[in-house]
Chains A and B, each alone.
Chain A
Amino acid sequence: MLPINKHDGIVIPLDRSNVDTDAIIPKQFLKSIKRSGFGPNLFDEWRYLDRGEPGKELAVRKVNPEFVLNKPQYKNGTILLARENFGCGSSREHAPWALLDFGIRIILAPSFADIFYGNCFKNGILPIPINKNITDLFFEKAQSEEGLRLNIDLEIQKIIDGNDSYSFDIDMFKKYCLLEGLDEIGLTLKNKADIKNFENNYHSQFPWLTK
């Protein structure tokens, strides 16, 4: 997994609440058996005017010029800003895979759906809940002509906007994994003996759960 420590990038303002995982990556692209290659179809139904299908050449797609990701000033953005309950809906990890493949490393929103929030951390994306006032302020700046560039420092848990900075909360274990780019399975397997031990006791207590 890609670690994150400090990240500096352009903010893309996606002014919507309840952005769901069907919007992030529509179902027809979930048929892939790979983890990569989803970036061109991120927000497919908003980003293009025609219907996207797996394997359809990008060159023939009709781009929606109104959609924020297609505006030139946000083209190289790596920080996505959105409204409440970002990532609601299905558990598809294809959603963070698509965001990462596009180049998004940080997501700022007042709140996130639980499964999506967890999935981000497994893929080197840092979702940061921010309060409503800061959200409004960031939207105003990101939508202005100058745009908004932010600096995120995970180590000290701060979002830095020029001379201003804002602290954010994060689970210590998740922070540690993201800073180090750790493989959680490897970490868990260090406790192999504990798991075996637990399993034996558990199955003798609840013998009907062994099959």
Chain B
Amino acid sequence: MASTLYEKIFKRHVVREDNDTFLIYIDRHLIHEVTSPQAFEGLRSANRSIWRANSILAVPDHNVPTTDRKLGILDPVSKIQVDTLDSNCDQYRLTQFKMNDQRQGIVHVIGPEQGSTLPGMTIVCGDSHTSTHGAFGSLAMGIGTSEVEHVLATQCLIVRKFKTMQVNVTGNVSDYISAKDIALHIIGKIGTAGGNGYAIEFSGPTINELSMEGRMTLCNMSIEAGSRVGLIGVDSKTIDYLEGRPFSPNGDLWNKAVDDWKNLVSDEGAVFDKVINVDASIIQPQVTWGTSPEMVCGINEVIPNPKQQVKESNKKGYEKALEYMGLEQGTNITDIFLDKIFIGSCTNSRIEDLRVAANIVKEKKVATNIKQALVVPGSGLVKKQAEKEGLDKIFIEAGFEWREPGCSMCLAMNADRLEKEERCASTSNRNFEGRQGKGGRTHLVSPQMAAAAAIHGRFVDIREID
């Protein structure tokens, strides 16, 4: 019988089944400092050991400073959390890239970069954006701390099967439309709860055309559509990306693995519980205007009228959002002026993201109304590569700050944050109230759009600028 990719990977990992509740085996466990300390503590207090230490890759990313790290972490509370990760990894002899290791970075950037993310794997992490790794044809999902502890102790998770949703994307997109715009457009279409209970598989010619970086951006954002799992079938791009990476298999094992990976696509005729068709050719550069990723529109649109919403809950939600955002219905998106620019996060901090942003700011200056423009590379290796290509100089000459890798202003757990009523064009993934700082106002956009907004001081249509 024809199977979906999700069903194929799921089936491989079933240890036990009991009345539709499954015990599934986990191949890779990624760990960071925020959601793991209580799990290690739980292990110790129950006198349990770690099932398979070499399944784990750990890195501090949420709390680390993105400025000069010679001084260490100044915030004492953040420091305790990072130190706790260090001591847990030392105690259990886990592979960890510590803060000053060049391989350190955002957990969802370094997994694939190291070849620690491989097709067919089950991958978990105490972080909702674990869906990112599904870009490699792996079943990857975010879990809570109790489940982190469960995986540490048993190498397994207790789960039920998700329903399957195929998001089939067709139509050509121009260079100005990125995976981020496709992701935001889809979320606008199905809503932030549209994927609840589903594993989404993105497919179709437009997805095939995307680079691995673009695919990661798309799968990363599937959690913003409510889906814990985003998936894309394996093709030659997947395999080419992984060849020769430190954790990737090599020699004979590589050939065996590739033979297997080629089957990691949904079979012709596989049946999904739900199918959504998206015409990418109509997608404009997207900008969120509210406090949920589904509150999004094209650059040439105006902010919608809450009273004209069909859904009763939207009327109220839209009003509250506009009040928080300090915006009025009917305003052109291009009339929104900004205070800060953030290029970074597990959504958009990979080398390709930095290249397209640098291309826009090259030989230009950040507008005078912009108080701060940050570029935070996703990892030390991304930073190194960007510096090799001279991207750092382009950004710095334009007036951006070039920072050390980490989650940074995506969630503002370190010192990078918005102050009250500051408005930010951000390449991150969540525009929730207070996400980038109490009272801060976030507009989610692609790296190109954020770069152009930095230069013009407001949102502009990147298809129309020179």
Residues of chain A whose beta carbon lies under 8 Å from any beta carbon of chain B: 15-18, 20, 22-23, 26-28, 30-35, 45, 51, 54-55, 83-85, 88-93, 96, 111-115, 118-119, 122-123, 171-173, 183-185, 188-189, 191, 194-195, 198-199, 202, 206-211
Could you pull out 21 A-B pairs where Cβ atoms are within 8 angstroms? A15-B316, A31-B63, A31-B413, A33-B41, A51-B438, A83-B313, A85-B196, A85-B226, A90-B430, A92-B35, A93-B35, A112-B196, A113-B226, A114-B227, A115-B228, A119-B146, A171-B21, A189-B48, A195-B154, A199-B155, A209-B121
Q: Is the CB of B143 within 8 A of A115?
A: yes
Complex Cα distance, B412 from A54, in Å, reads: 14
Complex Cα distance, B247 from A95, in Å, reads: 34
User: Contact check: which of B37, B84, B144, B320 meets A118 at CB < 8 Å?
Assistant: B144
- Given A31-B77, A85-B193, is A93 in contact with B145 using a C-beta cutoff of 8 Å? yes
Give A117's nearest chain B residue, CB to CB. B196
Q: Is the CB of B128 within 8 A of A90?
A: yes
Q: Is the CB of B146 within 8 A of A122?
A: yes
User: Contact check: which of A31, A119, A195 meets B144 at CB < 8 Å?
Assistant: A119
Residue-wise, chain B 123-135 has the 8 Å CB interface mask toward A (1 for contact) of: 0001110100000
- Given A114-B197, A114-B226, A122-B147, is A89 in contact with B320 using a C-beta cutoff of 8 Å? no
Q: Is the CB of A89 within 8 A of B430?
A: yes
Q: Is the CB of B156 within 8 A of A188?
A: yes
B149 contact set on A, CB distance < 8 A = 185
Distance between B326 CB and nearest chain A CB, rounded to angstroms = 16
Give B249's nearest chain A residue, CB to CB. A208
B463 contact set on A, CB distance < 8 A = none
Q: Is the CB of A33 within 8 A of B37?
A: yes
Give A186's nearest chain B residue, CB to CB. B46
For A92, A93, A123, A207, the residue with the greatest tally of chain B CB atoms inside 10 Å of its CB is A93
B164 contact set on A, CB distance < 8 A = none
Q: Is the CB of B38 within 8 A of A45?
A: no
A54 contact set on B, CB distance < 8 A = 77
B74 contact set on A, CB distance < 8 A = none
- Given A189-B153, A209-B121, is A23 in contact with B197 using a C-beta cutoff of 8 Å? no
Give the size range of B's interface with the partner.
Answer: 35 or more
The reply to whether the CB of B23 lies closer than 8 angstroms to some CB of chain A is yes
- Given A17-B317, A111-B193, A195-B25, is A22 in contact with B430 using a C-beta cutoff of 8 Å? yes
The reply to whether the CB of B142 lies closer than 8 angstroms to some CB of chain A is yes
Complex Cα distance, B260 from A118, in Å, reads: 32
Given contacts A17-B317, A173-B21, A209-B120, 4 further A-B contacts (CB under 8 A): A20-B432, A26-B438, A173-B158, A202-B25
Q: Which residues of chain B from 164 to 207 have any CB-CB distance to chain A below 8 Å in the complex? A: 192-193, 196-197
B51 contact set on A, CB distance < 8 A = 195
The reply to whether the CB of B423 lies closer than 8 angstroms to some CB of chain A is no
B25 contact set on A, CB distance < 8 A = 195, 198-199, 202
Q: Is the CB of A189 within 8 A of B433?
A: no
Q: Is the CB of B19 within 8 A of A172?
A: yes
The reply to whether the CB of B237 lies closer than 8 angstroms to some CB of chain A is no
Distance between B254 CB and nearest chain A CB, rounded to angstroms = 7
For B38, B80, B257, the residue with the greatest tally of chain A CB atoms inside 10 Å of its CB is B38
Distance between B252 CB and nearest chain A CB, rounded to angstroms = 9
- Given A194-B15, A207-B253, is A88 in contact with B192 using a C-beta cutoff of 8 Å? yes
Complex Cα distance, B75 from A1, in Å, reads: 33
Distance between A140 CB and nearest chain B CB, rounded to angstroms = 14
